Amino acid sequence: MTDLSPPAALDRDRIRELFDLRSSYNSFSGGDYTDDPYPVWHELRARAAVHEGTVHRLTGYPGEAMFQGLPFPDRPHFSVFGFEACDAAFRDSETFASSPVAINPIGDDVGVMNSMLSMGGDQHRRYRALVQPSFVPAKAKWWIVNWIQETVQDLVDRIAGDGRAELNTDFCAAIPVLTITGSFGVPVDQALVIRESLRDPAAVVRILAPIVAARRESPSDDLISVLVQAELKEADGTTHTLSDAEIYSFAILLLTAGSGTTWKQMGITLTALLQRPEVLAAVREDRTLLKACVEESVRWLPTDPMFSRHVTRDVDFYGTTLPKGSVLHMCLGAAGRDPERWDRPDEFDPYRPLKRSLGFGGGPHICLGMHLARAEITTGINALLDRLPNLRLDPDAEQPRYVGLYERGATEIPVLFG
Amino acid sequence: MAGQGLVTVDQTLCVGSGMCIVYAPESFDHDEHAKVVALDPMGDPLDAISTAVEACPTGALRLVPQEQEA
């Protein structure tokens, strides 16, 4: 353990730069997009089941935006916007594969593209099964008690006396990165170094290597210990433990997914509540309503609104022939507002009947960390409501807006309390 | 409340996503390998159970058609 508590070790300006969606770090995925894409997406969904082109081009974004499944400039691209088509593609992972090539995680290449994110079929199932037990709903308490609760309380301590705060970067952004790095045993002062280095796997490996070595010697109650002790069943029935390279790729995937998404969904949920004071008041009174608010936020404005698959055989898909080798983009943001599945789809309404959206993806690759994300968002918002009386948007500050194309989130969330 | 025999479970298809537990927490659980287990009795209303079945991302759960009560 380090004796640096999160508030002391996390430099506020550095967090801002790393997490502000409009900063250069995030322009990569269309962070400078400021329009509301939903009217265009409604139009596209109504016009045809399958469109030729990428989601960003069809949405009218003039630049090049990157995400999983892009750019692949030499391949044909198609996009779907309806719930049914997105769901069908997610579920048929043989026709719609996560990678254009087979994945060999044993080799020396370390990174997300060499992790289970890109695997398919039986290989994906075997790797995912190693970590799934650490991410089931029943493990939420393990995460909360060991890593989430203390971070959340420390962050509230830092602002509780001020009467005002900017919650997006000063609160939401820090929680997931500290949770996932904490679960790896990475000291707090190195958490931001990791966040900064995610596109440079070698730098992350330098931080992780001594931890992996230490856990191989002496396992403890954390995620790296789970990975070093995991036994992978091969297709032929033999088992082997994970190599260092496999563990690093696993860890980088979990870090990328864990530190980049949940905080934005937390900010989206918070903004939706703060902009609807009657809903916020209802949640304050009855915290069980918070679950429905989180689910509704994931449907209504998922932070990652698009995922992609590689077409493995010529296939007729909703009336369009997709050639083998093409890329299919599923706009799950648009799918979450499909009027075929939801009444008044553009309304944020936590009282609607609970029903699955595709905000966490779908099919066998559905988000591994979704119950952890729910736990982080719920613990964070509950702590704010418990400790910051009369929490409300600051009427004199610039109001929060949703920005970003492939990584969406709120700008700033200026609040008053007390 | 529903009884046993309402849902069939195929553990070979289950990836342990836990989606069923989100919608019907009193009817489904995981074993130690994060494979789905249907509880008996199932403690959620029928509409929550069918929401959970529909939510399974890998089709590991199936509703068994029930005979209408006279």
Of A224 and A113, the structure prediction assigns the larger pLDDT to A224
Helix (H) or strand (E) holding B23: helix B19-23
Whether residue A56 is contained in a domain is answered as: yes
Please name the member of B22, B30, B57 whose beta carbon is closest to the beta carbon of A362.
Answer: B57
Residues A193, A174: Cα–Cα separation, whole Å: 13
Indicate the pLDDT class of residue A137, thresholds 50, 70 and 90.
Answer: very high
Query: CA A173 to CA A112: how far, in whole Å?
Result: 21
CATH of the domain at A238: 1.10.630.10
State both tokens at A132.
């799934």
Give the per-residue pLDDT at A250.
87
* pLDDT tens digit sequence for A47-60: 999 999 999 999 99
Domain that holds residue A22: 6-416
Position A1 confidence tier, pLDDT thresholds 50, 70, 90: very low
Residue pair A413/A166 in contact by the 8 Å Cβ criterion: yes
Contact A138 B29 (CB under 8 A): yes
Grouping H, G, I as helix, E, B as strand and the rest as coil, residue B36 is strand
Residue B1 lies in a domain: no
Whether B29 is in a domain gets the answer yes
Asked if B34 lies within 8 A of A364 by C-beta distance, the reply is no
Q: How confident is the model at residue A3 (pLDDT cuts 50, 70, 90)?
A: very low
Residues A274-311 have pLDDT tens digits of 999 999 999 999 999 999 999 999 999 999 999 999 99
Regarding predicted confidence, which is higher, B65 or A312? Answer: A312
pLDDT tens for each residue of A72-113 = 999 999 999 999 999 999 999 999 999 887 777 766 677 776
pLDDT at A280: 98
State the greatest distance between any 2 C-alpha atoms of chain A, in Å, as a whole number.
65
Residues of A in contact with B57 (CB under 8 A): 90-91, 362-364, 366
Alpha carbon distance, N-terminus to C-terminus of chain B: 17
Q: Who among B33, B51, B58 is closest to A129 (CB)?
A: B33
Q: What is the pLDDT of residue A119?
A: 84
Q: Is residue A326 part of a domain?
A: yes
Cα gap A297→A265, rounded to integer Å: 7
Residue B31, in any domain of the structure: yes
Across the interface, of B16, B23, B47, the residue whose CB is closest to A132 is B16
Q: Is residue A99 part of a domain?
A: yes
Considering the domain boundaries, does residue B69 fall inside one?
A: no
Q: Is there a contact between A67 and A29 (Cβ–Cβ < 8 Å)?
A: yes
For chains A and B, CB pairs below 8 A equal 61
B39 touches chain A (CB under 8 A): no
For residue A10, what pLDDT is reported?
A: 65
pLDDT tens digits for range A229-288 = 999 888 788 898 999 998 998 888 888 888 889 999 999 999 999 999 999 999 999 999
Residue A362 with chain B: CB contacts under 8 Å: 57
- Partner-chain contact A363 B57, CB within 8 Å: yes
The verdict on residue B16 lying in a domain is: yes
Quick one: three-class SS letters along chain A? CCCCCHHHHCCHHHHHHHHCCCCHHHHCCCCCCCCCCHHHHHHHHHHCCEEECCHHHHHCCCCCCCCCCCCCCCCCEEEECCHHHHHHHHHCCCCEECCCCCCCCCCCCCCHHHCCCCCCHHHHHHHHHHHHHHHCHHHHHHHHHHHHHHHHHHHHHHHHCCCEEEHHHHHHCHHHHHHHHHHHCCCHHHHHHHHHCCCCHHHHHHHHHHHHHHHHHCCCCCHHHHHHHCEEECCCCCEEECCHHHHHHHHHHHHHHHHHCHHHHHHHHHHHHHCCHHHHHHHHHCCCHHHHHHHHHHHHCCCCCCEEEEECCCEEECCEEECCCCEEEECHHHHCCCCCCCCCCCCCCCCCCCCCCCCCCCHHHCCCCHHHHHHHHHHHHHHHHHHCCCCEECCCCCCCCEECCCCCEECCCEEECC
Q: What is the pLDDT of residues A138-183, one digit of tens each?
A: 999 999 999 999 999 999 998 999 999 999 988 998 899 889 999 9
d(CA A204, CA A63): 30
Sort out which chain A residues have CB atoms less than 8 A from B58's CB and list them.
91, 363-364
How many domains does chain A fold into? Answer: 1
Q: How far is A229 from chain B (nearest CA, A)?
A: 14
Is residue B65 assigned to a domain?
A: no
Backbone angles phi, psi at B29, to 5 degrees: -150, 175
In chain A, residues with a C-beta closer than 8 Å to the C-beta of B33 are 129, 133
Q: d(Cα A216, Cα A16) in Å, to the nearest integer?
A: 36
Nearest to A132 among B15, B19, B29 (CB): B15
| Statement: residue A388 has pLDDT above 50 | yes
Chain B CB contacts of A129 under 8 Å are 15-16, 33-34
**What average pLDDT score do residues A182-197 get?**
84
The answer to whether A66 and A29 have CB atoms below 8 angstroms apart is yes
Q: Kindly give, in sequence order, each residue whose CB lies less than 8 Å from that of residue A162, ignoring residues fewer than 6 positions away.
A: none
Cβ neighbours of A137 in B, within 8 Å: 18, 21-22, 25, 30
Please report, for the domain that includes residue B31, its CATH number.
3.30.70.20
Cβ–Cβ below 8 Å for B32 and A363: no
Q: Are A384 and A156 in contact (CB under 8 A)?
A: yes
**Which pLDDT score is estimated for A106?**
66
Q: What is the count of structural domains for chain B?
A: 1
* Whether B13 contacts chain A with CB within 8 A: no
Tell me the per-residue pLDDT of B6-59, one tens digit each, with 9 for 90 and over.
999 999 999 999 999 999 999 999 999 999 999 988 999 999 999 999 999 999
Sort out which chain B residues have CB atoms less than 8 A from A230's CB and list them. none
Tell me the β-bridge partners of A307.
A330
Q: How confident is the model at residue A118 (pLDDT cuts 50, 70, 90)?
A: confident
**B15 in contact with A at a CB cutoff of 8 Å?**
yes
Residue A227 — pLDDT band, cuts 50, 70, 90? very high
Nearest CA in chain B to A128: B15
Instruction: List, for residues A332-373, the tens digit of each pLDDT value.
Output: 999 999 999 999 999 999 999 999 999 999 999 999 999 999
**Exposure on the CB side of residue A357, measured as CA atoms within 13 A:** 29
Domain for residue A91, yes or no? yes
Span A8-27, pLDDT tens digits: 556 777 777 777 666 655 67
Q: What is the ipTM of this complex?
A: 0.91
Using CB atoms, pick whichever of A91, A136, A370 lies closest to residue B34.
A136
Give the pLDDT confidence of A389-408 residue by residue, as tens digits: 999 999 999 999 999 999 99
With b for 16 or more beta-carbon neighbours within 10 A and e for fewer, the A43-73 pattern comes to ebbeeeebbeebbbbbbebeeebebbbbeee
Q: Which of B15, B32, B51 sits opposite A125 (nearest CB)?
A: B15
